Amino acid sequence: MSGTDNFDDLRDLYQEVILDHGRHPRHAQRLQTFDATAKGDNPMCGDRVQVWVKYDGDRLDHVGFEARGCAISVASADLMAETVQGRAKADTKALFEAFRTMARTGACPDCGGALAEPLERLAPLSGVHEYPSRVKCATLPWHALIAALDGTKEASSE
């Protein structure tokens, strides 16, 4: 079956970029030296993530994570780490708000603005808005990151 099956019906949420980052995350590592860390926990499905951040002044110099969870949460964590690297803290928080809107609604009111470029990289995750129970998988790593930036230790998904 798999020889001729192109899985078209399965790809709206699980696009190639998500499968790829879910399978081979580039930033899935604990940082040896870091300035902040926080955990995120989704007790409903057992997803757990920890995020480490190294600053360079006001910017996020390096972000690493360890995640145990579904393909969506691992891919989201990896795309997040990739996208926020080098970004100012305030910028990162704004990006989270815009991403959360995209994940919840599929709409991207900020896509034409200053965050257009990072949001475009995160756009493959926008498909989760059709699966309300999965939105939290995509946003959990971000909650952990924002908790680290705010100096709190734990975040749980909304």
Partner 1 sequence: MNVMTNPAALDVERIRADFPILTQTIRGKKLVFLDSAASAQKPRAVIDAMVNAMETQYANVHRGLHWMSERTTESFEGCRDAAAALMNARDRSEIVFTGNSTGAINLLAHSYGRGILKPGQAVLISGMEHHSNIVPWQLLREDRGIELRVAPVTDAGELDMAAFEALLQDAKVGLVAMTHMSNVLGTVTPAERIVQVAHAHGAKVMFDGSQAIVHRKVDVQALDCDFYVWTGHKLYGPTGIGVLWARRELLEAMPPFFGGGDMISSVTYEKSTWAEVPHKFEAGTPAILEGIGLKAAIDYVQAIGYDALAAHEASLTEHALARLATVPDLRIIGQAQDRGGVVSFVLGKAHAHDVATLLDRQGIAVRAGHHCAEPLMHRFGLDSTARASFGVYTTHAEIDALADGLVRVRDFFA
Residue 7 sits in the site that holds partner 1 (CB under 8 A): yes
Shortest Å distance, C-beta 6 to partner 1: 10
Are 39 and 68 in contact, with CB atoms under 8 Å apart?
A: no
Q: Which is nearer to partner 1, 26 or 68 (CB)?
A: 68
Residue 4 sits in the site that holds partner 1 (CB under 8 A): no
Residue 144 sits in the site that holds partner 1 (CB under 8 A): no
Q: Which helix (H) or strand (E) holds 102?
A: helix 89-105
Please identify, among the stretches 42-50, 79-87, 110-118, 150-158, the one whose residues bind partner 1 according to the rule CB under 8 A.
42-50
What count of Cα atoms within 13 Å lies in the side-chain half-sphere of residue 77?
Answer: 35
Residue 39 sits in the site that holds partner 1 (CB under 8 A): no
Give the residue from 21, 16, 54, 9 showing the smallest Cα distance to 36: 54
Q: Could you write out the DSSP letters of every residue in 33-59?
A: S-SEEEEEEETTTTEEEEEEEEEETTE
Residue 69 sits in the site that holds partner 1 (CB under 8 A): yes
Residue 112 sits in the site that holds partner 1 (CB under 8 A): no
Residue 72 sits in the site that holds partner 1 (CB under 8 A): yes
What SS3 class is residue 65?
strand
Residue type, 98: A
Q: Which one of 36, 70, 79, 81 is in contact with partner 1 (CB under 8 A)?
A: 70
Residue 16 sits in the site that holds partner 1 (CB under 8 A): no
Residue found under tokens 């691992």: 74
Residue 131 sits in the site that holds partner 1 (CB under 8 A): yes
Length of the chain: 158
Where does this chain bind partner 1 (CB under 8 A)? 1-2, 5, 7, 9-10, 12-14, 19, 23, 44-47, 68-72, 131, 133-134, 137
